[in-house]
């Protein structure tokens, strides 16, 4: 059976979807439900579902960021959005990120079943079948499916991954003064730490520390224009815990010391 996860902050919606959709008809089984984005991502990593039906207008983080995280980290998983959020641009962006259907609440049963049928058809085109086949066999089937079908999922995955990287860099720019770790950023954008690390390298050619330090040094150069600021105060203001570390990073980044840089102004 295809594994299904349902995510919505309204328990009545979760219960209704779990009980009223004829999942057996589509060779599907609901393997878990969640009531928030954070809880949903934990469940997805645990269950590794084939199909996800989720709201995007829930308390907490951006629904689009959650969708991008799912599509980037789990590119084989099919996603349908079921929401009361009526915004055309939002829907268009969600579809660009790779969702199969964007349904508005309240949805008719035929719309829901049409979405399930669409997602199961996509899975079969990818070579993912509900029968219990070996992992190696499924890999062969997926490879064969990709030969016969244009790289639709690769396109979606690239769009989702670019969206994730853009949001990650934005978050770093907004929080560079804090004691920021890769895991802190990953938690904000619904991807695992290892996946975010891979995406940053692929899209920027830099690792997390290089991106963070680059942002901090650029901010430090701005502050060094003020002669009343001591270099130690500048280092602390941009997030470095000690002056020695700041000095090493600044010289590696600029080729001269912070004091030498100030003297060139």
| Mean pLDDT computed over 7-11 | 91
Residues 6+ away with beta carbon under 8 Å from 146 = 126, 127
Per-residue confidence (pLDDT) for residue 107, from 0 to 100? 85
Per-residue confidence (pLDDT) for residue 230, from 0 to 100? 95
User: How is the chain split into domains, by residue range?
Assistant: 2-150, 210-263
Q: What are the backbone dihedrals phi and psi of residue 68, each rounded to the nearest 5 degrees, phi first?
A: -60, -40
Contact (CB, 8 A) for 37 and 61: yes
**C-alpha closest to that of 177 among 231, 240, 222, 221:** 240
Q: Tens digit of pLDDT for each residue in 192-212?
A: 999 999 999 999 999 999 999
* CA 180 – CA 15 distance, rounded (Å): 39
pLDDT band at 265 (very low <50, low <70, confident <90, very high): confident
CATH 1.10.10.60 fits 210-263, yes or no: yes
**C-alpha closest to that of 70 among 142, 154, 157:** 157
* CA 260 – CA 129 distance, rounded (Å): 64
Q: Tens digit of pLDDT for each residue in 112-166?
A: 999 999 999 999 998 998 855 444 445 555 545 444 444 445 445 688 899 999 9
Contact (CB, 8 A) for 219 and 176: yes
* CA 241 – CA 258 distance, rounded (Å): 16
Q: Tens digit of pLDDT for each residue in 49-86?
A: 999 999 887 665 667 888 999 999 999 999 999 888 77
Token match 């804090």: residue?
178
Contact (CB, 8 A) for 64 and 37: no
Per-residue confidence (pLDDT) for residue 43, from 0 to 100? 94
* CA 41 – CA 66 distance, rounded (Å): 8
Cα 21 vs. chain centroid, distance in angstroms?
28
Residues 6+ away with beta carbon under 8 Å from 259 = 231
Provide the strand spans (E) within 35-149: 51-54, 78-83, 101-104
Cα 133 vs. chain centroid, distance in angstroms?
29
Per-residue confidence (pLDDT) for residue 134, from 0 to 100? 46
Q: What are the backbone dihedrals phi and psi of residue 107, each rounded to the nearest 5 degrees, phi first?
A: -100, 150
Q: pTM for the whole thing?
A: 0.78
The CATH number fitting domain 2-150, selected from 3.90.226.10, 3.50.50.60, 3.40.640.10, 3.40.50.2300: 3.40.50.2300
Q: Tens digit of pLDDT for each residue in 161-196?
A: 999 999 999 999 999 999 999 999 999 888 999 999
Q: Tens digit of pLDDT for each residue in 17-58?
A: 999 999 999 999 999 999 988 888 899 999 999 999 998 876
Per-residue confidence (pLDDT) for residue 61, from 0 to 100? 60
Indicate the average pLDDT of the chain. Answer: 87
Per-residue confidence (pLDDT) for residue 132, from 0 to 100? 55
């Amino acid at each position: 059976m295809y594994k299904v996860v349902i995510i919505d902050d309204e328990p009545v919606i979760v219960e209704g979807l779990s009980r009223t959709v004829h999942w057996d008809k589509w060779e599907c089984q609901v393997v878990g439900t969640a009531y928030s984005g954070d809880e949903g991502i934990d469940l997805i990593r645990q269950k590794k579902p084939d199909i996800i039906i989720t709201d995007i207008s829930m308390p907490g983080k951006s629904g689009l960021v959650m969708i991008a995280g799912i599509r980037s980290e789990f590119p084989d998983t099919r996603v349908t959005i079921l929401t009361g959020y009526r915004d055309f641009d939002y829907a268009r962006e969600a579809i660009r990120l790779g969702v199969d259907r964007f349904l508005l609440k309240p949805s008719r049963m035929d719309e829901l079943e049409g979405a399930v049928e669409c997602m199961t058809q996509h899975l079969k085109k990818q070579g993912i079948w509900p029968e219990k086949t070996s992992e190696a066999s499924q890999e062969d089937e997926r490879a064969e499916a990709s030969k016969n079908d244009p790289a639709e999922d690769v396109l979606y995955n690239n769009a989702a991954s670019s969206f994730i990287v853009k949001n990650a860099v934005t978050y770093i720019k907004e929080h560079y003064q804090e004691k920021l770790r890769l895991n802190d950023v990953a938690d904000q954008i619904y991807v695992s730490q290892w996946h975010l690390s891979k995406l940053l390298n692929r899209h920027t050619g830099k690792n997390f520390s290089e991106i963070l330090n680059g942002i901090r040094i650029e901010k430090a150069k701005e502050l060094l224009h003020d002669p009343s600021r001591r270099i130690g105060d500048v280092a602390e203001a941009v997030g470095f815990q000690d002056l020695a570390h700041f000095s090493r990073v600044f010289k590696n980044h600029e080729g001269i010391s912070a004091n030498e840089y100030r003297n060139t102004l």
